[in-house]
Structure 1
Amino acid sequence: MTGTPPGIAALRARTDASLGEAARTWLEKATAVAAAEDTGDQRTPATWELRFAEAGRRCGAEHADSVRVVLLHAARADTATLTRLYEQGAAAERRAVLAALPHLVPGPEALSLVEDALRTNDTRLVAAAVGPYAAEHLTAHHWRHAVLKCLFTGVPVSAVAELAERARGDAELARMLGDYARERTAAGRPVPDDLHRVLALTPLVVPPPHKAEES
């Protein structure tokens, strides 16, 4: 992996601007270590992985997600490394792995991590799972269920990347939303406002026919 993608560069700039001097110095050293280490030997955790785990303590919980994404990119973490960190990590570390996927994994190889997060009831983990990586790689069937998962758990659908693009013209999604709304109504429970927002996106927008100019 050569160069720094614009998304990572922008994230690093925002992160640096939000950190205090001590945390910024720590991140600079941690990314230098991550960039220098070989991630191929998985017998023992690399030094940068220890920094990955302690990011919240060093930089503050509110900055830990972005700091961890920056570290993962600096380390050029591959799918195997990301999977190991996800499986061994706490919820906050798992969120960072999910957020890093679109920057580090070009194909669908890491979808199992997204699917695992969507099986949880941790709303912050679910929100991280429906980001750009899911938008690009989840099948239509699994993506629809991811949208419903957000409605079930109260995750705002604004967290779903490319929602309007993927929902447009999706008659099956509209049917599933209608079924869910009827179930909620029959049970005397309110229908989430977000359901109506998504449902409004599902019709296929057909451009009006071109009118020939009158001579």
Structure 2
Amino acid sequence: MVVTADSSAAPPDHPHPALTAVLDPTARTWLDDGAAQVAIEPAAVRRLFPAARRRCGHARLTEYWSVDEAARAVLLTALPLRGQALADEVTRLHRHGDPAEQRAVLRTLPLLDLGDLALPLVREALRGNDTTLIEAAVGPYTAAHLPDAEYRQAVLKCVFCEIPLDRVTGLGARADRELARMLADFAHERIVAGRGVPPDIVPVVRAFPDVIGAELNQALKEEG
């Protein structure tokens, strides 16, 4: 049952082709050379990853990627590592990175063969209050790997942080009765407090009519 406008849980397209079209020759050469270095010497990513924003820029590239995020994704996907070794390197970059670098790591996770090994990074972002990191965390990797109970809490965190639910990948497929109940409770508390209900939670709640009492249903109709 599709309950709201939803992004696919499929990985985003690899950003290298889009970057090639917008980077100037100097930046393009730097990135291509950097990816080649990383493929030979994985530790080189620790030097190149922080420099990507300065060398390539940070304009918006696509709806999903900024230029610096995409350039960092190119470097990460050039790593010849697998499994725990890849997870360890990605975790190192995330833990030592600034928010822009952390966003790049989170957005690149769907392109890396990590299984569940990167879930600690997602959980760390979801525990924090940086809305840009939370939004980056609720992408295709989370949709594919985060357990149900934690996924519901991630959706609720987005609601509390006023992150639009169309930024949450996989919601149409993963919304269930328990999530609807949680959102209905949230809506009821808002209404009792005389506050508005975010309109994007209404389709999720209404997809499971048994969680809505008559009073809440009427209130949601009045909310419009």
Q: TM-score range by the shorter chain?
A: 0.7 to 0.9
The answer for the alignment partner of 1:59 in structure 2 is 56
How many Å separate the matches in 2 of 1:73 and 1:51? 13
Deviation at 1:8, TM superposition (A): 7.6
Larger Rg: 1
Q: Comparing 190-199 with 89-98, which one deviates more in the overlay?
A: 190-199
How many Å separate the matches in 1 of 2:209 and 2:111? 32
Equivalent residue in structure 1 for 2:186, among 174, 180, 192: 180
Query: TM-score, normalization: structure 1?
Result: 0.82
Q: Per the alignment, do residues 75 and 8 of structure 1 end up closer, same or farther by CA in structure 2, a change over 3 Å counting? A: farther
Measured on the aligned residues, the alpha-carbon RMSD in Å equals 2.0
How many Å separate the matches in 2 of 1:202 and 1:59? 47
The answer for the alignment partner of 1:209 in structure 2 is none
The answer for the alignment partner of 1:207 in structure 2 is none
Q: Deviations over 1:145-197 (max 9, x none)?
A: 11111111121211211111111xx1101100000011111222211112114
The answer for the alignment partner of 2:142 in structure 1 is 134
What are the equivalent positions in structure 2 for 1:25-64 lying under 5 Å apart?
A: 25-37=29-41, 39=42, 46-62=43-59, 63-64=67-68
Query: Conserved in 1, the CA contact under 8 Å of 2:181 and 2:205?
Result: no
The letter of the residue matching 1:14 is A
How many Å separate the matches in 2 of 1:137 and 1:120? 19
Partner of 2:118: helix, strand, or coil?
helix
Query: TM-score, normalization: structure 2?
Result: 0.79
The letter of the residue matching 2:166 is S
- Bigger RCO of structures 1 and 2 (CA < 8 A, at least 6 apart): 2
The aligned length equals: 190
The answer for the alignment partner of 2:156 in structure 1 is 148
Query: Conserved in 1, the CA contact under 8 Å of 2:34 and 2:48?
Result: yes
- The percentage of aligned residue pairs carrying the same residue is 46
